[in-house]
Copies of this chain bind each other. A is one copy, B any other.
Amino acid sequence: MDSRDIRLAVIPGDGIGTEVVAEALKVLEAVGTKIEATHYDLGAARYHRTGETLPDSVLEELRGYDAILLGAVGDPSVPPGILERDLLLRLRFTFDHYVNLRPVKLYPGVETPLADTRPEDIDMIVIREGTEGLYAGTGGVMRAGTPHEIATQESLNTAHGVERVVRYAFAKAQSRPRKKLTLIHKTNVLTYAGDLWQRTVNRVAEEFPEVTTDYAHIDAASMYFVSQPERFDVIVTDNLFGDIITDLGAAIAGGIGLAASGNINPDRTAPSMFEPVHGSAPDIAGQGKADPTATILSAAMLLDHLGRHTEAARIEQAVSEDILERLSGWASRTTHEIGDDITARVSS
């Protein structure tokens, strides 16, 4: 076991972000990892106070950490896109988080909105490309505000960017019992990008003869998530389709309160960043209503990424047990109480 302290940058962010991050830090401490955590005040409050989203000096400082734990950023008081682009996406892009890893897993004890669905039917890992596609943000507007306005968005896809995430996905599929990888795209309409993705999958497949590959259009895949989720094992997809399908995945797996994610730089040239899939939820902020489980599971992914597999497994185990207990009256616990209960389990 690696016993070096983990140098962790913590960005609690906005809304429920601060509440759920506090619980995750409690659990991390209880599991016995030595953590040296530094908090960074970034998000809507700082933006309103100073006009800053992510100063260059802070970005460079963050680069020096082992990993980043993020709660959530965003608030209706900030125009759409500002915090997303200049803070969240800037971190993902600058630190080359090309693998956005999002497990979709129905834990025993969780109620899914799907009828007749058992935990073994929903157990997949979505690998969403994190650094290109429509998230590149290129595009523009001409004749704004006139009847002749044109607004464009561009999806940029590179062989470099697609191949590395596809290779990661094949390796992940190879490591799982079913060894099945599904590409999700819209090759029949987005023919240029779709062709690059499909050709890349076909080529890399030759290096992984044990992995079965499959394909689904994003529209059909959305349908399958609801009607036949058992169809999927590992999924690889682009940035936007991955965004959509993982929220849908969270919904079928019992809700956004449990969905964890890692923005991973597998080459380790910069710190990876872990965050719940959910947002800052300003409507319930400050009321102790948020479920910190997604952030706690994200912290477990963080430990796993840093090679602390035993501690990661211990947290996951504690969460599974806690969720199973929910069968008898979970709705009544506060954010703190859920954090305390999981903390107690990892400590014991």
A135 CB contacts on chain B under 8 angstroms: 189
Also in contact, A80 and B194, with CB within 8 A (given A113-B115, A189-B135, A219-B243): yes
> A141 and B248 in contact (CB under 8 A), knowing A157-B152, A158-B149?
no
Question: How far is it, in angstroms, between the C-alpha of A199 and the C-alpha of B146 when the chains are bound?
Answer: 11
From A15-23, A220-228, A260-268, give the one contacting chain B: A220-228
- What are the residues of chain B within 8 A of A226 when measuring CB–CB? 113-114, 226, 248, 251-252
Instruction: Check if B139 sits within 8 Å of A85, measured CB to CB.
Output: no
Within the assembled complex, what's the spacing in Å between the Cα atoms of A66 and B258? 52
What is the distance, in angstroms, from A73's C-beta to the closest C-beta of chain B? 11
The verdict on A84 contacting chain B, using a C-beta distance below 8 Å, is yes
Contact status B188-A81, CB under 8 Å: yes
| Bound CA–CA A247/B186 (angstroms) | 13
Number of copies of this protein chain within its complex: 2
Residues on B with beta carbons closer than 8 Å to the beta carbon of A137: 189, 191
Interface string of A137-161 (1 = CB under 8 A from B): 1011101011111111111111110
Contact of A255 among B141, B151, B227 (CB under 8 A): B227
Complex partner residue of A196 from B115, B149, B250, CB under 8 angstroms: B149
Verify if A58 is at the interface (C-beta below 8 Å from B).
no
How would residues 185 to 217 of chain A score, 1 for a CB under 8 Å from any chain B CB and 0 otherwise? 011111111111011000000000000000000
Q: In the complex, what residues of B have CB within 8 A of residue A191's CB? A: 80-81, 85, 137
Is A244 interfacial (CB-CB < 8 Å)?
yes
A22 to chain B, nearest CB (A): 25
Task: Collect the chain B residues with CB atoms within 8 Å of residue A192's CB.
Answer: 139-141, 151-153
| Pairwise interchain contact A193-B113, C-beta atoms closer than 8 A | no
Question: Does chain B have a CB within 8 A of A271?
Answer: no
Is A110 close to B, CB under 8 A? no
